[in-house]
Amino acid sequence: MEQTIELPAFRRSAELRPASIDPETRSVEVIWSTGARVRRAALFGEPHDEELSMAPEHVRLERLNAGAPFLKVHEAHDLDAVIGSVVPGSARIENGQGIARIRLSERDAVGDIWRDIEAGHIRAVSIGYQVHRFEISKPEGQRELWRAVDWTPFEISAVPV
């Protein structure tokens, strides 16, 4: 039986690729997802495991490839929280990883963040995403597995951990 449930936006951690830093364009590549399995607290019922399918046909990249925002710690209510954007057309799936190039703003307020990225002090990123469809299974003796097979990453954030 198919069931539709409204869920909030989710977040997931990933990483910067320091070797890809380009000081001329103030840009860096990020691995924004590997689809790794995580434990989710129950929105209803028991906690479950969640996995993001990284099959290209399961991930809607349009928002990232249109220049989605690069935010400061998922702040979504203040324009100063936008510290850059995804370079249009750079988001892709390669070998089971979501990769994109981020270009940081040239605003003075973002300068310290850029310098910390260059120095390797800021290395973590996280994505905000919306799931349109889960496939739910319950392997014998294990927690339910909610596998996102249709989902949209809509922002990438610099995060402390």
Alpha carbon 47 to its chain's center: 22
Residue 30 pLDDT? 95
Residue 13 pLDDT? 54
Residue 139 pLDDT? 85
Residue 17 pLDDT? 76
**pTM of the predicted structure, to 2 decimals:** 0.87
Residue 42 pLDDT? 76
Return the bridge partners of 125, or none.
Answer: 14, 158
Residue 14 pLDDT? 60
What sign results for the dihedral spanned by CA atoms 65, 67, 71, 76?
Answer: negative
Residue 16 pLDDT? 77
Residue 19 pLDDT? 84
Alpha carbon 149 to its chain's center: 15
* One-letter amino acid of 53: S
Tens of pLDDT along the chain (161 residues)? 555 444 445 544 567 777 899 999 999 999 999 998 898 887 777 899 999 999 999 999 999 999 999 999 999 999 999 999 999 999 999 999 999 999 999 999 999 999 999 999 999 999 999 999 999 999 898 999 999 999 999 999 999 98
Write down the domain spans for the chain: 16-140
Residue 6 pLDDT? 47
**Strand ranges (DSSP E) for 1-160?**
10-22, 27-33, 38-40, 48-52, 69-72, 82-86, 92-94, 97-104, 124-137, 145-159
